[in-house]
Each structure stands twice: as C-alpha cells, then as structure tokens.
Amino acid sequence: MKADTTNQSALSSLLEDIVKKLASSMKLINDEHQALEKRHKDIIDRQDALAYKHGGEHAKPSDIICLNVRGTELFARRDTLTVVKGSRLEALFSGRWENQLLRDESGRVFMDVDPAMFKKILEYLYTVKISEDLPPLPEVADDDTEAFDIYMDFFKLRT
C-alpha cells in the first residue's frame, strides 16, 4: 500500500510539472501572438497612412483601372491586379500609391511593358482570381516564353 501511495505521489508531482510547463508554454505562445497582432496592426496603420498620403484612401477592390500599356488601352478591376499578394502589381494598385502612378494625358495608368505580354499576365490574374487552386501559366508562343518568364519574375507573380 505504501508503494501505491509513493507511485501516486510521484505521478501527481509529474503531472503538476507537466501542467506548469504547459501553462508556461501557453503564456509564451499567447505573448508572441499578441506581439504579432500588434505588428500586424502597425503594418495596416502604415499602409492606411500611405494610402491617405498618396490619394488612395478611397480605393476599392471593385474599381476599374484604365491602363495605357504602350499605347494599347486595357481595363482591369483593382482586385484582379492585386490578386497575387506580395506582387509588384499588388503594391502598385493597392491604392497606397494612387497619386504616384505615371498617367497619360487621359488619366490612364501608363505601363511601359509589352502589351501582348501584359494581356497574358492579365489573363493569368483573372484565372488566379476565379480559381480555387493555383492555375497553370497561360500558353505563350515558344519564342515569347523567355520574355513572359521575365515579366512574371519582374512583377513577382510566381507563388
């Protein structure tokens, strides 16, 4: 009987130690979570301040963006251009730089890129927006593959 009491006491002590370690780990995780939430809020606040400073405080995902791509007029919704998070297009058209974008005499955003390639990029972005999974890249002619890859890398559209 004394052995049972000793075993129970040892198990009870071991369980107490585990509970203390778990509580300590949970506190560390909670503290880190709160710190990450604060960082996230700070980043959102900075983004909002940039949007306000550069005229994009009224930017909406449903905005139609008029583009002049080397003389070719194209249109795309803001949420299409910004669908790939972390891309250059997402940064350019997020609204944070609205008054800083180069525009032509008609107010269209000027893009100094190959129009045929940019149409393929828009095609890809439309597909990303409506797909549940990451879609394949659009087909391009063999002699355009290298240029298309350069544009995909330049705009940071590979995920």
Q: What pLDDT, on the 0 to 100 scale, is given for residue 131?
A: 92
pLDDT in tens, the chain (159 residues): 666 778 888 888 899 999 999 999 999 999 999 999 999 988 887 777 766 665 666 788 999 999 999 999 999 999 999 999 999 999 999 988 888 899 999 999 999 999 999 999 999 999 999 998 889 999 999 999 999 999 999 999 986
From CA 91, how far away is CA 58, in angstroms rounded?
16
- If you ran DSSP here, which 8-state letter would residue 67 be given? E
From CA 60, how far away is CA 16, in angstroms rounded?
54
From CA 123, how far away is CA 121, in angstroms rounded?
5
Q: What pLDDT, on the 0 to 100 scale, is given for residue 97?
A: 81
Contacts of 64 (CB under 8 A, 6+ apart): 75, 76, 77, 78
pTM for this predicted structure: 0.67
